[in-house]
Amino acid sequence: MKAVTWQGKRDVRVEEVPDPVIEQPTDAIIRVTSSGLCGSDLHLYEVLAPFMTEGDILGHEPMGVVEEVGSQVTGLAPGDRVVVPFNISCGSCWMCDQKLYSQCETTQVSDEGMGAALFGYTKLYGQVPGGQAEYLRVPQAQFGPIKVPDGPSDDRFVYLSDVLPTAWQALEYAGVPDGGSVAVIGLGPIGDMACRIALHRGHRVFGLDHVPERLARARDRGVQTVDVSDSDTDAGDVVRELTGGRGPDSVIDAVGMEAHGSTGSKIAQHLAGLLPDAVSQPMMAKVGLDRLSAFYAAIDMVRRGGTISLSGVYGGQTDPLPMLTLFDKQVQLRMGQANVRRWSDDILPLLVDDADPLGVESFATHHVPLSEAPSAYADFQAKRNGTVKVLFKP
């Protein structure tokens, strides 16, 4: 089969690899019909290169049609149409009983001290082959895959794999009060979708970014946008002015470790990536630095007693945090990988609604074949050609 493989920093290629097969009785094989390119994939494209191996199959936002199931998979059958959550969880361990599916004790990558295994995402998360491919082996298929109806296009459902539950959890964790306000920093796919969900819930929404196309997308849906491309713009001052001097009730940081700016941390990340893996892996895992400008902006911007929700991925261990400010402002902070199956039943009714309230049908900016993956990655990383959300069509 054809698959998108990692070959080095900023080097992905489409190669012929062996077809997946059933390895465990709880496995399923699906024929992939759509697979998303995620902002988190860009971390693998550059920053997290020390944790990758040449030939790793990328991608964690797939959906498709079941081809084969293992002997212990009773809820699926060949021909079923399914979305595959990016985290791999059993549904029956203690953590899954708490609906903390991203911490599943059955698939935890304990050797690395990490949570549940993820598709297509480094040694840290199990090095499980990903879904930017023609076929995918799905472990724990007795629980993970989400069955969706035939008929509507893949664009209606594919975002259940990651974008929708990640944005949904970001809003849930943000704790925006009824009629309250939320600022979303970063209007990539997760931030954009978080804005749409917040608007759907009746909140006042501010969206911050420096990319004109992303600002325009959010503004067209009713978001009050703030262009932070001008270095003289103080985002906190702008949003405080829009909220009567107090600041928003909640802030969602949808950017993460590769925030725009933070020159010193960017240089440190780059230098770490040049070292041999045996040196750079422990350095990134134990003393890594993130670019924290988005997080700092969230701390500054949120009102006193408000909540910050982190959905952007951070990986550093020695990041300097303004603990005095966090404590003095009595800020509440919540974060973590999305627990996909916790939210999927709440989200699905919005996707079968003919009105398409979240605009999923038109959410993707680019639909491309797998063969164009290298250029799609490059365009997404450079934020050019209006690239916000890419769906691969194997």
When pLDDT is cut at 50, 70 and 90, the band that residue 160 belongs to is: very high
Q: What is the pLDDT of residues 19-77, one digit of tens each?
A: 999 999 999 999 999 999 998 898 888 777 788 999 999 999 999 999 999 999 999 99
Q: What is the pLDDT of residue 165?
A: 98
Sign of the alpha-carbon torsion through 358, 170, 284, 326 = positive
Q: For residues 318, 322, 323 and 326, what is the CA-based torsion angle, rounded to 10 degrees?
A: -130
Q: What percent of the chain has pLDDT over 90?
A: 79
Q: From CA 89, how far away is CA 102, in angstroms rounded?
A: 7
97 is written with which tokens? 């009983």
> What share of the chain has pLDDT > 70, as a percent?
90
d(CA 338, CA 168): 9
CB 33 within 8 A of CB 386: no
Better pLDDT: 259 or 149:
149
Return d(Cα 270, Cα 47) in angstroms, integer: 7
Give dist(CA 273, CA 281) in Å, integer.
9
**Would you list the domain boundaries of the chain?**
2-162+338-393, 164-335
For 252-256, 287-291, 333-337, which range has the lowest pLDDT when averaged over its residues?
287-291
CATH class of 2-162+338-393: alpha beta
Q: Which range is least confidently modeled, 99-108, 148-157, 258-267?
A: 258-267
**CA count, 13 A, side-chain hemisphere, 327:** 4
Contact predicate 81/150, CB 8 Å? yes
205: enclosing H helix or E strand:
strand 204-209
The structure tokens listed for 332 are 């509440």
Q: Which residue has the tokens 């306000």?
A: 181
Provide mean pLDDT across the span 81-108: 98
Q: Which of 50-64, 287-301, 308-322 has the highest mean pLDDT?
A: 50-64
Give residue 270's pLDDT band: very low, low, confident or very high (50, 70, 90).
very low
Angle (CA) 187 191 195, round 5°: 100
Q: What is the mean pLDDT of residues 357-374?
A: 97
98 close to 116: Cβ distance less than 8 angstroms = no
Return the exposure string of 200-233: e unless at least 16 CB atoms fall within 10 Å of the residue's CB, then b. Answer: eeebbbbbbbbbeebbebbeeeebbbbebeeeee
- Overall CATH class of domain 164-335: alpha beta
Tokens 């630095």, located at residue: 289
Tens-place pLDDT, residues 374-392: 999 999 999 899 999 999 9
Task: Establish how many alpha carbons lie within 13 A of residue 42's alpha carbon, considering only the half-sphere containing its beta carbon.
Answer: 24
The pLDDT of residue 278 is above 60: no
- Higher-confidence position of 276 and 136: 136
Q: What is the pLDDT of residue 282?
A: 52
Rounded mean pLDDT of the chain? 91
Cβ neighbour number for residue 378 with a 10 Å cutoff: 15
* Confidence (pLDDT) at 275: 45
The string of pLDDT tens digits covering residues 197-215 is 999 999 999 999 999 999 9
Determine the pLDDT at residue 46: 77
So what's the pLDDT on residue 260? 44
Are 312 and 296 contacting, i.e. CB atoms less than 8 angstroms apart? no
Would you say residue 291 has pLDDT above 90? no
Phi, psi (rounded to 5 degrees) for 202: 90, 15
Distance CA 149, CA 227 (A): 40
| Span 268-273, average pLDDT | 45
Q: Give yes or no for residue 263 having a pLDDT over 50.
A: no
pLDDT in tens, 111-120: 999 999 999 9
Residue tagged 């932070």 (tokens)? 228
**pLDDT confidence bin for 346, thresholds 50/70/90:** very high
111: Cβ contacts below 8 Å, ≥ 6 apart: none
Measuring CA to CA, how many Å separate 24 from each of 59, 82, 183, 294, 366? 21, 19, 44, 42, 35
Check: CB of residue 340 under 8 Å from CB of residue 100.
Answer: no
Q: Which two tokens stand for residue 178?
A: 């009824």
